[in-house]
Amino acid sequence: YVGACVLLNAAGRFRDPDAMEEQPELNPIIKSISSAIQRFVIACSFVYTKQPLRIEQILRQVYPIDGSNVDSELVQSIQTPALEDSASEVFYRVITKNGAGPQAYVDDILKELECPVLLAWGESDPWIKSAAADKMERLHAEFHGNNVGGENGSKWIERASIDAGHCPHDEAPEAVNDAILRFLDGALGI
C-alpha cells in the first residue's frame, strides 16, 4: 500500500504521441560501429566529468539560488562512487538511457498512481525545467480529472514551487520539509 508519493524534480521520459511505435532496425554493422563510437566518446567524457573541479563546476550550476552547500564534502561524496569499477558503465547507461527492462514513461506511471502526489519542484533547476512539472500536472488532470485537494478521491496532485535548483532538498531543506509536512497532513492527516 502506498498512501502518498513525493517527487523532487522528477525526471523521466514522456511518451511522444507523434512517435512511430516501431523504429526500423539499423544495419547491424552500422549499429555496432555507432555503438562503439558512442561508448568511446562517453567514456572519455566520464574521465573528464568525474574530476573534482568539473564536479564542483556542475554543482554550482544546479545550486543556482544558494551554493553554500557546494563544498569539498559534497564534491567528494559524488566523486567517490565515480571511482568504482562499474561507474563508467552506469554513466554510459544513464547518458544513453539504456537501463535494463522496458522503458517506463512518466505518462504511464502517473496514470497508474492511486494516491496523492506532491511535486516539490526546484523552479530554477537548469536540467529539469519547470515545464516538466507543468506537463505532469496536465497529464495527471487528463488521467484523473481536476481533483484538487482530493475532493473527488485519493488521486490528486499538488505542486510546491521551491526557490531552488536541481537539489531542492539540499539547497532549500526547510522549504521542502514544510511542503512535505503540509502535503502529508492533507493526504494522510499526519
Please state, in angstroms and rounded to a whole number, the distance separating the CA atoms of residues 26 and 169: 43
| Cα–chain center distance at 158 | 17
SS3 68: helix
Facing residues of 157 across strands? 117
The string of pLDDT tens digits covering residues 67-100 is 999 999 999 999 999 999 999 999 998 888 766 6
Most confident of 5-14, 48-57, 144-153: 48-57
Residue 50 has pLDDT above 90, yes or no: yes
Q: What is the pLDDT of residue 178?
A: 97
CB neighbour class for 84 (10 Å; exposed up to 12, middle 13-18, buried from 19): exposed
How many angstroms separate the Cα of 46 from the Cα of each of 49, 89, 103, 114?
5, 10, 24, 39
Please state, in angstroms and rounded to a whole number, the distance separating the CA atoms of residues 11 and 62: 14
Q: Which of 28-32, 51-55, 162-166, 167-171 has the lowest mean pLDDT?
A: 28-32
Please state, in angstroms and rounded to a whole number, the distance separating the CA atoms of residues 14 and 140: 13
Contact at 8 Å (CB) between 132 and 7?
A: no
Closest C-alpha among 56, 101, 111, 96 to residue 79: 56
Q: What is the pLDDT of residue 96?
A: 82
